[in-house]
């Protein structure tokens, strides 16, 4: 089959939830990629917030949608045993306090969804307020569970 | 403001489309992250196709949605000048033949959208057929524009 070559490479690289157990390094690589994409899209919102980029409600909404779509995908990047295996800023406390970590992750999912929803309305003041709530949700988790050096 | 610390870090790390010019290494890191997430979600579909994982139409649909959402985000990871600046498998031909590259990228966007749409119907035969079309769209671009070693 024509897809055989490609899919073999894909499967070899990404052992995934649907099949074999996830390798720690694959999970770490995955979650870092997801955070990277979130940062890529959250960055321009922060720039608008600070007046470093022109206010653009449509662009804000487009990127907020992406953050909201990615947020619920983070948690599967933290399977048991992925506290080590590659360079990671994730603190071992995540797996010791997984219930609390999930609460914080759920809050980020909720706040980013609200941000995407509010942005569809185009009300600048509301968007700015909800941006702060979303950034606070990021920070609450990073402060406790990320080694930021 | 409470988000100041976070957003400063975010902005420092990810120079983005809304503001300053994108640094090549940031673009390369971004696109590799996007491909990584696509692979993470496409992998389990390939495993189902090969019978390496049990057929699960709902899981297939959930992951096909992610691939379809991510596909249109790839192109902004290939700004002019990002043919070097960090390890990359992207061939310089991409920027020499950007119109053709965009055609191939558009086809992947289209095929992955069709895959997500078909998957919502839950018809296994149609999903399998459209998976092949989507994988072929990946392969058409990789064959020409990616150094796969």
With an 8 Å Cβ cutoff, are A6 and B56 in contact? no
Q: How confident is the model at residue B13 (pLDDT cuts 50, 70, 90)?
A: very low
With an 8 Å Cβ cutoff, are A3 and B32 in contact? no
* Residues in a beta bridge with A73: none
The domain ranges of chain A are 23-145
> Distance between CA atoms of B30 and B36, rounded to whole angstroms?
10
* Token pair for B3: 């988000």
Does pLDDT of B61 surpass 50?
yes
Q: How confident is the model at residue B12 (pLDDT cuts 50, 70, 90)?
A: very low
Mark A4-23 as b/e (b = at least 16 C-beta within 10 Å). eebbebbbeebbbbbbeebb
Mean pLDDT confidence for B44-71: 98
Query: From the list A32, A44, A132, which residue is nearest B17 (CB)?
Result: A44
Q: Taking the mean position of all CA atoms in its chain, how far away is CA B36?
A: 7
The pLDDT value given to residue B10: 46
As a whole number, the mean pLDDT across chain A is 90
Contacts of B43 in chain A (CB under 8 A): 10-11, 13-16, 18-19
User: Under a CB-based contact definition with an 8 Å cutoff, are residues B65 and B116 in contact?
Assistant: yes
As a whole number, the mean pLDDT across chain B is 90
Q: Is B96 exposed, middle or buried (0-12, 13-18, 19+ CB in 10 A)?
A: exposed
Q: A23-145, what's its fold? A: 1.20.120
Q: How confident is the model at residue B20 (pLDDT cuts 50, 70, 90)?
A: low
Query: From the list B14, B43, B135, which residue is nearest A39 (CB)?
Result: B14
Q: How confident is the model at residue B148 (pLDDT cuts 50, 70, 90)?
A: confident
Q: What percent of chain A has pLDDT over 90?
A: 84
Q: How confident is the model at residue B58 (pLDDT cuts 50, 70, 90)?
A: very high
Does pLDDT of A3 surpass 90?
no
* Token pair for B21: 């010019």
> Distance between CA atoms of B43 and B103, rounded to whole angstroms?
24
> Distance between CA atoms of A101 and A78, rounded to whole angstroms?
10
How far from A40 is each of A36, A121, B103, CA to CA, in Å? 6, 23, 24
SS3 assignment, position B26: helix
Q: Taking the mean position of all CA atoms in its chain, how far away is CA A63?
A: 13
The pLDDT value given to residue A78: 98
Q: What percent of chain B has pLDDT over 70?
A: 86
The pLDDT value given to residue A7: 41
- Of A10, A21, A52, A57, which to mutate for an interface test with B (greatest number of B Cβ within 10 Å)? A10
> Distance between CA atoms of B64 and B42, rounded to whole angstroms?
7
The pLDDT tens digits of the residues spanning B99-124 come to 999 999 999 999 999 999 999 999 99
With an 8 Å Cβ cutoff, are A43 and B5 in contact? no
Does pLDDT of B81 surpass 70?
yes
């Amino acid at each position: 089959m024509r897809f055989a070559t490609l899919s073999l490479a894909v499967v070899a690289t990404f052992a995934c939830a649907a099949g074999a157990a996830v390798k720690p390094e694959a999970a770490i690589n995955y979650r870092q990629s997801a955070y990277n994409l979130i940062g890529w899209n959250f960055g321009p919102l922060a720039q608008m917030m600070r007046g470093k980029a022109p206010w653009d409600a449509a662009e804000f909404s487009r990127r907020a949608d992406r953050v909201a779509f990615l947020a619920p995908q983070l948690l599967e990047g933290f399977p048991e045993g992925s506290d080590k295996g590659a360079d990671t800023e994730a603190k071992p406390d995540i797996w010791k306090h997984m219930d609390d970590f999930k609460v914080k992750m759920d809050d980020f999912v909720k706040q980013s969804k609200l941000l995407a929803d509010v942005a569809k309305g185009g009300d600048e003041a509301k968007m700015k307020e909800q941006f702060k709530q979303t950034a606070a949700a990021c920070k609450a988790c990073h402060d406790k569970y990320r080694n930021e050096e």
